[in-house]
Structure 1
């Protein structure tokens, strides 16, 4: 008689978790490619994951920069340009990547405090009223793909 009760105690949390809250929308893999020129915008990247319900990303704000805009790199008639975007649909149980060469954040005037900390808190504003707080790792220009002096071959 004891074994069935023990199984019930072990299985109850699993059964209750199946009836839990719906899966939320979340953002991960956030990082910022710091511009080598403080007068030029830095770029931000991340992956937005849709929960059980689709939503829209309406914007991104931070206390650690003067301005954050969403843009998309677009190729048209052999020319590559950037276009501002107001919102991005995040499908239910889908994902949307903001990555180099595609959708990205343009971040103007990154604060020295954020640079010295190596991260910046971003607030993602969702259409359903949610505000998602995410720390984005700041990659300095030499860490963003530019070779360091020690990595360049000697002639």
Structure 2
């Protein structure tokens, strides 16, 4: 084998991992850590929380739906004139490879009229709609009023 052939062989072996890495699947857009705190008063909305993990490109979360509640709205808690208040939000930017947390004291869902049977089952399926056309369905764990947040959500 000529020195040139050996060099080409060595370069081929050394570059193979880089070429394979370039062929790897792109980072997926996904939602996890979904949970709902049920309101103690059936006439007031329950609150929903979750984390969106961005994929390869930025997107917007446009809506969240479920057939286990009469209505779902996205809201954000904000300080206004020295008081905390809530305001509806119509879309939430999700940066590429970033995270957006819906957590107590910040962005959250308001679920009106959560189905009592879903509460008994301990989960509510949520459908997340994104600007790129993705629809992601995630089961949110139901927490009764007064229960602590699930352990994995306490880090957000």
Residue matched to 2:80: 76
For the pair shown, the structure with the greater C-alpha radius of gyration is: 2
What is the aligned length?
134
TM-score, scaled relative to structure 2? 0.80
Q: CA deviation at 1:142?
A: 3.5
1:53-77 per-residue CA deviation (whole Å, 9 max, x = no partner) reads 1100001000100000000001022
Summarize the alignment of residues 5-154 of structure 1 with structure 2, pairs less than 5 Å apart: 16=20, 18-144=22-148
* Gaps in structure 1 of 5+ consecutive residues: 1-11, 146-155
Q: Please list every run of at least 4 consecutive aligned residues from structure 1 whose deviation after the TM superposition is greater than 3 angstroms.
A: 14-18
Query: 1:101–1:142: structure 2 CA closer, same or farther, 3 Å change rule?
Result: closer
1:100-150 per-residue CA deviation (whole Å, 9 max, x = no partner) reads 0000000000001210110000000000000000010000014247xxxxx
RMSD over aligned CA atoms reads 1.9
TM-score, scaled relative to structure 1? 0.81
* Gaps in structure 2 of 5+ consecutive residues: 1-15, 150-156
1:62-98 per-residue CA deviation (whole Å, 9 max, x = no partner) reads 0100000000001022021100000000000100100
